[in-house]
Amino acid sequence: MIVAIASGKGGTGKTTIAAALARTWDAPRIAVDMDVEAPNLHLLLSPTIEGEEEATLDVPVVVEPENCDGCGACSDICAFKAILVLRGKPAIFTELCHGCDGCLQVCLRGVLGRGKRDLGTVSWGRANAADRASSDLRMVSGRMRICENTCPPLIRHVRTRLDAMLRERQADVIIDAPPGTNCPALTALRDIDVLLLVTEPTPFGLHDLDLAVRAFQSDRVPAAVVINRAGLGDDELIRAYCRRGGLPVVAEIPYRRDLAERCARGEPLEAMGADLRERIAALAGSVRALAHRSVAA
């Protein structure tokens, strides 16, 4: 079972909820940080890193400049303006390359070869669970290189690593997705079973929840909503929206100053009293029930 925690708006509490679910989940699980631009899940799960790899994208490099006759085919085929032919020789702007391989395919003189662009790192390891008896909590996360432009290729690397870990040992998966409603978030939400959308009861929260619902809604993947900071604004706005759209509200995390302070320090949400522990447990139950619907469909 793969559950992804997403939201249109940033800062609604995705990572806090993902960490609490991951720590308390009562079966082997892997927590995955796919918010590679601003990865924060490791701050809450403090994993022991067991492995790390550089993630790269295949990009062209000039290997045999003497062979170039300046025909310009490589530049003509590039839709991303990543190659210019200057004074009869190709100049490659690696940062603009999407890795489509077109230039390598059309160069008949062997001028270009395959090089790598560094996208960032993928690391994995083991984290501490809330309950010692169920300590099978693994983690994998991506971390984009500063100044790298495009994050979906790195998210795909994280997914590849996740799939390898699942082949090694079966587990449930809890994904912390990037904010927004476009390519990074959609890449993270590919091939999932349950979607949890975290929102807050403010006009921003409602507006971006609606964007997320419109972008992500699918007949295949059951979705549900978590209202974080309930009581801070007008909760009924969110509840009414969810009722209209047939979206179950599966948890409400109350707004309290002391909770906000403890979350700021990175303390586990489920450790902030019996009430919260129960709410997280009930949320986990709802996620399982939704996953069952997904499998049944």
Partner 1 sequence: MMPEITVVSGKGGTGKTSVTAAFAKLAGRAIVCDLDVDAADLHILLQPQIIDTHDFYAGQTAVLDPDACTQCRACESYCRFDAIVATAQEITFDPSRCEGCGICAHFCPFGAIEMRPRLSGRWFRSHAATGAMLHGELHPGQENSGLLVTRLREEAHAAFRAGSFDYIIADGPPGIGCPVIGAVTGTGFVVAVTEPTVSGVHDLLRVAALCEHFRLPTGVVLNKADLDLPLAGFVETFCAERGYPLLARIPYLPAVVQALTEGRTMDEVDEGGVADSVHSAWETVAAQFKSSSEAIQQVE
Residue ranges in contact with partner 1 by CB under 8 A: 8-12, 15, 37-38, 40, 43-44, 77, 79-80, 98-102, 105-106, 144, 146-152, 178-184, 186, 202-204, 207-208, 211, 214-216, 232-234, 255, 257, 260-261, 263-266
| Residue 215 CB burial class (10 angstroms; 0-12, 13-18, ≥19) | middle
DSSP structural state of residue 95:
G
Q: Taking the chain, what is the end-to-end CA distance rounded to the nearest angstrom?
A: 14
Least distance from partner 1 to the Cβ atom of residue 223, Å = 14
202, 232 Cβ separation under 8 angstroms: yes
Least distance from partner 1 to the Cβ atom of residue 106, Å = 8
Least distance from partner 1 to the Cβ atom of residue 121, Å = 13
For residue 43, give Cα distances in angstroms to 3, 212, 243, 263.
20, 26, 35, 11
Least distance from partner 1 to the Cβ atom of residue 229, Å = 8
Residue 137, φ and ψ in degrees, nearest 5? -120, 110
| Nearest residue (CB) to partner 1, 47 versus 180 | 180
| Nearest residue (CB) to partner 1, 179 versus 222 | 179
Least distance from partner 1 to the Cβ atom of residue 68, Å = 20
What type of residue sits at position 2? I
| Nearest residue (CB) to partner 1, 232 versus 281 | 232
- The encoded tokens of residue 167 equal 């082949």
| Nearest residue (CB) to partner 1, 125 versus 184 | 184
| Nearest residue (CB) to partner 1, 152 versus 222 | 152
3-state DSSP assignment of residue 12: coil
Q: Which residues have C-beta within 8 Å of that of residue 224, sequence separation ≥ 6?
A: 194, 195, 196, 197, 247, 248, 249, 250, 286, 287, 290
Q: Strand pairing partners for 54?
A: 121
For residue 24, give Cα distances in angstroms to 27, 145, 187.
9, 31, 26
Least distance from partner 1 to the Cβ atom of residue 129, Å = 20
| Nearest residue (CB) to partner 1, 25 versus 216 | 216
Least distance from partner 1 to the Cβ atom of residue 12, Å = 6
| Nearest residue (CB) to partner 1, 264 versus 295 | 264
